[in-house]
Every structure is written in structure tokens, then in C-alpha cells.
Chain A
Amino acid sequence: MNPPFRVEISSAGRRRWIDVHGEFDTASVPEFERLAVAILGAPGSIIVDITGATILDSSALSALIRLRREAVDRDADFSLIIGPAWQARLLEQSGVCEYLCARCREPADRGPSSGAA
């Protein structure tokens, strides 16, 4: 069975991480936004890691765009870490790859998914 939708929030110094797992679609957007809004407000950087997402739709992309806008309005940096090839394809197709500062995970990234928060 596909893993259920789950969001993990963590922080390390001025970095705040949002790890998304499972099916991120219209049904799960409210839960994502409820949790994500809690880490807005402090300066620093927000890193959303969707490498564990098994589905992403246009509603999820809209939620990411809104979060990025909120973060920038609060002088926070925003970036999106993507994984499987289909995620890059979806972002490119939607034309939001650059806007969401999407990139693959790098060795320097530290977060719950990479095992060191």
C-alpha cells in the first residue's frame, strides 16, 4: 500500500526543514499548510524536501508556491529539494522549477531525511 501522507518539521540553527512523505494532493494540502505555517515567522531559510512524496498535483504545487511567497515576505530563503525524475518533470511542465528554487539534495544538506537534523 502506498505510504500515507506525512509531514515532518525540524530545525537546525537558522534552517527549518519540512519533509513531505506520501501522496501530496488536494486532499492533503490543508494538513501541509496547517503544519507549514507554524514555522513561518523567523528569518533564516525554509527547505521543503519532497523526495519522499509519491504523488504531487497542481494543488500541492500551489501550496508550495504560497509557502514560498509567505517565506520571502518574511525575509526567509526558500528552497525545494526534489528526488525522482517525475518530480523534476512536473515542475518543469508547470514552469515553477526556478520560482521554487528546486534542486536535488546535496551532500551539504542536513535534515531529517538525510539522517542528521
Chain B
Amino acid sequence: MTEIDLVVASCVDRDRLSGVLQALIAHVATIDDALIDVFGALDDACYQLVEECVDVAHESSWRFWAGSGFGLVTDAARVGDRPPTLADALGDVTVTGTTLRWTMGATRHCAAPRPRPSGATPQAIQLHLPACFGHAAAMRAVVRATMRFADDTNEAVYLIAATEVFTNAVRANHRRAEPPDVVVGLEFDDGRADALTIADCCGGWVPGDPDDLEPESGLAIARAFVPGLTHEATPGGCLVRLPLPPP
């Protein structure tokens, strides 16, 4: 089963979360056996939205969701706040080939969003995508749904750069026998400093590696298309940050 984890790292407005959820639902609908898990402390509006999306997914499952499902995982702290109807609706519902999961008390590590000079906390979301080239489409769909570009050309070149970085992260994680997820982060700051981050767990790009021309070419494209791109390599992995160009 393909599992995509959506981690809400800090309070995200309803419209953005809606865009992310719809993009992910459309993506997993193309996969035979997939599950989206949502982690994080959601405010009431976002919580209700997730609930509605789960309902939509559940209703759709009979006709459109061949073997796909939708899960909701929340903070233990939220358990006492929720009406039992939600758990009733989601708890251990199993349809042929489709599982809707409701798990309480699960946690997922998520890096804190970077502080802004203004002191404001940016909105942030993380996607934990299996290390598979096909999931670059999910990343692109989420970016299209949540980030605003000056025009189609700006959007396309940004997405090309992100695709190059994501593809390289997949390759990097496949150095392990059991490839870990590629972690895609979206940070929103009202258009002032929005950014996408892509992290692998295995060292990622090695700029200048003469034996591997395709990643080198991809890196050159990504750097040319996103001038502020930064690349931080640590023993634990590689984090590439792609700031959104100002609109």
C-alpha cells in the first residue's frame, strides 16, 4: 500500500488545506492501493474540512476509489475535543479494498517552520511521500493548488526545478534497502517568503559528481530556474530550499 502522510506543522488556513487535500485526493485516486494520513493539531475549521474530505472520499470510494482510502490521525490532545460521531464514522470502517482509518494518539515528527524576521510564524505543511518518481506529480499538484505565480511560465519553470530536486531525492533515498520517504515542506508567508523544501535522508545531490550526468544537469536546471535555491547537505540528509519568486 502507498501511504502519503500529510503533516500540518503549524496552523494552516482552510483554503490552503483544502487545496492540499483536493490535490492529494486526486493524486491517490490514480493509484490502486493508497492511503492518505493526516497528522497534526488542526484548528476547528481545518478539522471540519478534513472531515468533509473524508466523507467525500468515502462516498466516492464506491465508484472512483478502486482500492484507495483516506485516514485521519490526530493529536492525542484533540481526542477529548471531538464528538464521538467522527470516530464512529471513521473507526475501522473497512470496505473491500478500501480502508478508512481513525487513529488517535499517533505522532509524526515535523520540523518547526523557520522563524520570520517579523516574528510571525509562517503556515507550514509537510508531505511525506514514498520515494517513487511518480509522486513528483503529487508535489506539483499541491504546489499548483497552494502557491501563486506571476504567470504560467514562472509556474512551469518553478515546477521543473522542484521536479529535478524531488527526482534526485528519490534516487538518493534508494541508496537504502528500504528507501525512506522524501519530505516535501511548504511554507506560506502571505506571498512574502513562500517556499518549498525537499529533503532526502541519504546525502542527496553531490554537486559536481562527474559520473552521474543526469542529476548534475538537473541541478543546473533547478539552480538556473530558482535563483535563490539553497542546498544544505548534512550526514543525515540533504535539504534543498526553493523560495518562491515574488509575484
- A residues contacting B by CB (< 8 A) are 1-2, 4, 23, 25-27, 54-59, 61-62, 84-86, 89-90, 93-94
Contact = CB atoms under 8 A, between A and B. Distances in A.
Nearest to B171: A26
B225 A1 contact: no
B152 A89 contact: no
A27 B138 CA distance: 12
Nearest to B157: A86
A90 B167 contact: no
A25 B136 contact: yes
Interface stretch (B10-18, B186-194, B213-221): B213-221
A3 B220 CA distance: 27
Given A27-B133, A27-B137, A58-B214, A86 B152 contact: yes
B228 to A, nearest CB: 17
B141 interface: yes
Contacts of A1: 26, 141
B164 interface: yes
Given A55-B156, A93-B221, A25 B141 contact: no
Given A84-B153, A86-B156, A93-B221, A55 B141 contact: no
Given A58-B221, A59-B214, A4 B30 contact: yes
In which size bucket is the chain B interface? 20 to 34
Question: Interface residues of B: mostly helix, strand, loop or mixed?
Answer: helix
Contact of A25 (B132, B133, B153, B157): B133
B159 interface: yes
The listed residue with most A CB atoms (<10 A of its CB), out of B132, B144, B218, is B218
24 contacts: A1-B26, A1-B141, A2-B137, A2-B141, A2-B144, A23-B137, A23-B140, A25-B133, A25-B167, A26-B133, A26-B136, A26-B163, A27-B136, A27-B137, A55-B163, A57-B221, A58-B221, A61-B217, A62-B214, A86-B153, A89-B153, A90-B160, A90-B221, A93-B224
A84 B137 CA distance: 20
B105 interface: no
Contact of B153 (A59, A61, A85): A85
B134 interface: yes
Contacts of B26: 1
B45 to A, nearest CB: 25
A58 B164 contact: yes
The listed residue with most A CB atoms (<10 A of its CB), out of B26, B134, B160, is B160
